[in-house]
Amino acid sequence: MKEQEDKLKEVKKKVRIFRLVMSGVGIWPYENPTIYYRLLACLVAFLLLQTFCGCINFIVANSDNLMIMLNGMGLSLSISCVMLKGGSLIYFRKDNIRMNKKLEELIDKQMKGPEDVCNVMLEPMVVFARKIFYLIYCLGFGMVLVQWLRPTVAMTKQYMHGYNITYRRPFPSVYPWKIEPGSDLWKFHFFVDSITTWFYFSIGISTDENFTHQAAQIIGQFSALNYEISNLKVEDVNNDKMKDFVERHQDLMDLCQTLGDCNGLIVLVLTLSAAIILCTLSFQCSKMETITVGELTWLLTYIFYKLLQIFLFAWSGEIIKKKSEELRDNVYGIAWTDKADPKVNHAVRFMMHQRPVVLQALGIKPISAELFSGVVNTSMSYFFLLRTISE
C-alpha cells in the first residue's frame, strides 16, 4: 500500500503547484475567500480587460493591414478566452468546491480498499502527474518567456549595437492617450504588460491543469468501478455490493454533469477561438518571406499549445465516454441472472438503463474526439478562405 500512497502524494504535489498558481491570480475556489483575495481577482480582471481593449483598438487602427490586424486578433481572442476561464471558475466556485470534495472523498475510500483496485484508480492520475502536467507547464511558461523576451531581446540588441531602438511592448495595443516611445509612461505600460503577461498565461495554463486533473480523477473512478465489476465473483454478488456500485455510479454521473456545466461555455468559446487563432497563425506563416528564430519559436509553440488544449478537452471527454460504455457491458456480464434476489436484479437494470456519459458543452456540443478533428477542419477552412480573400 505504501507504493499507492507514494503515487497519491506525487499527484497531490502537482495539484499544490497549480493551486498555488491559481491562488496567485485569485481564481482557486476557496470556501471563504477573504476580501483581499477577491480584490486580487478584480485587479487581474482589470489588467486583462485593459489589455484586451488595447488590442481591439490596435486591430481597428490597423484595419487596412491584414497581417498586422490578424496578429492583434489572435491575441485578443486568447485574452478573451482566458478572462472567460477565470470568470467561469469564480462563477462556479461552489460547484467546483463540491466536486473537489466529492472526488477527494471517493479517492480516500478507494485507498482503503484492495491494492489492485487502487492501482487501477491511480493510473490516470499518475499519467497526469508525470506527463500531462509537465507538458502543459513547459509549453505554457515557454510561451510566457517568448512573449516577454521577443521585444526585450530585440530592444537589447539594438541598444548594444548602437542602433535606434524600436520600442515594443509584449502586447500589440493602442490606447486613447499618447505613449511616447522610451518615456516614463512607456516604461510604466511595459511593466504593466509584463505583469499582465504573467497573469494571462497563469490563468490559461492552471485552468487547463485543473480541468485535466478533475477529468483524470473521474476516469480513475470509472476505471476502478469497471475493474471491480468485471472481477466480481458469483458468490460475491449481493445486495450490499450492488448498492455500493449503484451509488458510486450515480456519484460519477453527477460529477460528469458538474464538470460539463462548469466548463461548457469555456469549451464552446475555446473551440471557436482556437480554430480562428490556428487559422491566423498558419496564414501569417504562409505569408512570411523571412522568419527569425524567435518568431518561429513563438508560432510553433503557440500552435502546438492550442492543439494541446483542444486535445486535452476532447481526450478527457472521449475517455470518460468510453469508460461509461465499458461499465454497462461489465454490469451486463455479472452473473446476476443466477441470483434470485430481486434487489440485485433491480440494481443491474438501473445501471443498464443509464445512457453512456457524454460531457456536453452547454448541451450544445459534445466534448469528445470529434471536437479535436472539428477544430482542425474548421481552422483549415478559415485558412483557405483567408488565402482567397487576400488574393
Q: List the grid coordinates of 2.
A: 505504501
Contact 202, 24 (CB under 8 A): yes
Residue-wise pLDDT for 136-192, tens only, equals: 988 888 888 888 878 888 788 887 887 887 788 888 888 988 888 888 998 999 999
> Which of the 8 DSSP states describes residue 356?
P
Tally Cβ neighbours within 10 Å of residue 296. 12
Tally Cβ neighbours within 10 Å of residue 267. 24
Given this model, what pLDDT does residue 95 score? 95
Contact 329, 231 (CB under 8 A): no
**pTM, entire model:** 0.90
Q: List the grid coordinates of 280.
A: 491566423
**H or E stretch covering 361:** strand 360-361
HEC sequence for 183-215? CHHHHHHHHHHHHHHHHHHHHHHHHHHHHHHHH
- The whole-angstrom separation of Cα 148 and Cα 145 is 5
Q: List the grid coordinates of 98.
A: 463540491
Residue-wise pLDDT for 107-143, tens only, equals: 999 888 888 889 999 999 999 999 999 999 888 888 8
- The whole-angstrom separation of Cα 265 and Cα 310 is 14
Closest to 96 (Cα-Cα) out of 19, 40, 24: 19
Residue-wise pLDDT for 278-312, tens only, equals: 888 887 777 777 777 767 777 888 888 888 889 99
- Give the position of cell 516604461: 187
Given this model, what pLDDT does residue 374 score? 85
> Which of the 8 DSSP states describes residue 179?
-
Per the prediction, the chain carries an average pLDDT of 86
Residue-wise pLDDT for 1-47, tens only, equals: 678 888 999 999 999 999 999 999 999 999 999 999 999 999 999 99
- The whole-angstrom separation of Cα 88 and Cα 380 is 29
Q: List the grid coordinates of 199.
A: 497573469
- Give the position of cell 488590442: 55
Residue-wise pLDDT for 40-89, tens only, equals: 999 999 999 999 999 999 999 988 887 788 878 888 888 998 999 999 99
Q: Does residue 389 have a pLDDT over 80?
A: no
Contact 168, 154 (CB under 8 A): yes
Residue-wise pLDDT for 323-365, tens only, equals: 988 888 877 777 555 555 666 667 777 776 777 788 888 777 8
Q: Where are the alpha helices (DSSP H) in the chain?
A: 2-24, 35-61, 66-91, 93-111, 115-127, 133-160, 184-230, 239-287, 293-332, 342-352, 369-390
Residue-wise pLDDT for 213-225, tens only, equals: 999 999 999 999 8
**H or E stretch covering 366:** strand 365-366
The β-bridge partners of 212 are: none
The β-bridge partners of 361 are: 365
